Each structure stands twice: as C-alpha cells, then as structure tokens.
C-alpha cells in the first residue's frame, strides 16, 4: 500500500478492485486507496471526510461502499458513501448511536443492519438499519446481549447470525439471530468456547464456521461449526 495502516477495512468492488479505507497508525487515517489485481498496483483514491478506525465497510446493491462509525478521538456516529465511478466520498445520514467495533450486514432487501459495538467505553445492545434509498437510519429491536468485537453473517434464509464478542465484563459465548421480517432477535445455542476477534464464514453446505479469536489468555486455535438446519 501507499500508506501503512491497521484497523482499516477492505471491500471488493464490482470491477474487481479492492478499496482500502481508513485505519490508524499512531493517529486515525482518512485516506483510501485501491488495489488493481490486473496490474498488481496500488493507487490513491478520494479521502473520507472523517478519519476513522474500527469502522465497518459494506458494498451496497448500488455498488457504492457504505462506511459506518469507528473511532477518531471519540466514538463516531457518522457514515459516508464511496462512489467507485468518481472516486469520491459523500456524507450520508448519521447513526442514532455512535459506535465502534460493531458489525454491519447487508440484507437481501438492500438495507444494512448495524449491531452492537462500543460507545463511551460501554458495550452496546442497540441495532439500527440503514436505508440506501433515503440515506436514513431507523432503530430496530436491540440484541439480547450487549457485545462488541463480535462477528455477524447473513445466512441463506436471510437471518443475521451474531456470534460471541465481549461485554463490559467478560468474553461471550452467546449467539443470537435477527429476523428482519419480524424485527426479533432469537437466542441460539452457545459456542463451546467464549471468544472475540474471531472469524465467521458461511460455507457452501450452509453451515457456519467460527475460527480462532481470544477467550482471554492464550489466544485460540479452536474452531466450531454451527448447523442452521438444526433447530
């Protein structure tokens, strides 16, 4: 890359390029750059309006990239849109709650579910939906548990599975799913091991693979499978 950074986001665009946005070294970063797989070159593109790290980035159905929240001297509620055709960023509606270390999931209807995170050093239970058609946010039902540094994946049935993370006091093994058609969160069987900073992947057989993370000390090399067909 042209700029060293950590805690950034990477988004694969419709043309195959990869957008790297924000992050931090000693200070938060507002710059963005593109990786072109065909030339294996990095080029700078438009900078975000606000420097941020520990944010999320989601590729929308209209091919724009939505960057949400994060941290920049304080927790951030603002959101921005990247337009690949122009390489420019524009502000869109701000979230109701400032948050970092949250998750963002693009639903089948094109809306984006943001869940949990941390604000003012307090773990959040709240969730909200972004509507790309209006650029506005709507609060939805809160999760059963407060959590940040968790993961979220959209399942084949359209529900969003939220896994693990940490509360204000402990690492979490709890799992829950969100149904946007009913605006309800439902508890799912717990992980076998408490974990945060893990990864989550929806496999072709529709099972969900959760790998690694931290459950305190030491870091984890264990992995678990969730079978959504077993109720």
Sort 3 into a burial class: Cβ within 10 Å, 0-12 / 13-18 / 19+.
middle
Those residues of the chain that have pLDDT short of 50 are: none
Q: Are 55 and 76 in contact (CB under 8 A)?
A: yes
pLDDT computed for residue 228 by the predictor: 82
The pTM of the whole model exceeds 0.85:
yes
pLDDT computed for residue 217 by the predictor: 77
Question: Tens digit of pLDDT for each residue in 139-178?
Answer: 999 999 999 999 999 999 999 999 999 999 999 999 999 9
pLDDT computed for residue 229 by the predictor: 78
pLDDT computed for residue 130 by the predictor: 99
| Domain spanning 95-230, CATH architecture | 6 Propeller (2.120)
Report the C-alpha gap between 150 and 56 in whole angstroms. Answer: 12
pLDDT computed for residue 126 by the predictor: 99
């Amino acid at each position: 890359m042209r700029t060293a950074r950590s805690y950034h986001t990477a988004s694969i665009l419709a043309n195959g390029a990869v957008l790297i946005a924000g992050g931090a070294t000693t200070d938060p970063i507002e710059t963005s750059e593109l990786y072109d797989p065909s030339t294996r070159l990095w080029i700078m593109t438009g900078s975000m309006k606000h420097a941020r790290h520990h944010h999320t980035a989601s590729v929308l159905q209209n091919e724009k990239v939505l960057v949400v929240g994060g941290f920049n001297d304080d927790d951030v509620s603002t959101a921005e849109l990247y337009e690949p055709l122009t390489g420019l960023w524009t502000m869109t509606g701000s979230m109701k709650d400032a948050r970092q270390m949250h998750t963002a999931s693009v639903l089948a209807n094109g809306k984006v579910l943001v869940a949990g995170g941390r604000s003012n050093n307090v773990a959040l239970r709240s969730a909200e939906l972004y509507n790309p058609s209006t650029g506005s946010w709507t609060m939805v039902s809160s999760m059963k548990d407060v959590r940040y540094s968790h993961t979220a994946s959209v399942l084949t049935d359209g529900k969003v599975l939220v896994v693990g993370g940490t509360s204000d006091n402990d690492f979490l093994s709890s799992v829950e799913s969100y149904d946007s058609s009913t605006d309800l969160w439902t508890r799912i069987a717990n992980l076998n091991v408490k974990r945060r900073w893990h990864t989550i992947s929806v496999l072709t057989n529709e099972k969900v693979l959760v790998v690694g993370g931290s459950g305190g000390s030491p870091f984890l090399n264990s992995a678990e499978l969730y079978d959504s067909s077993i109720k």
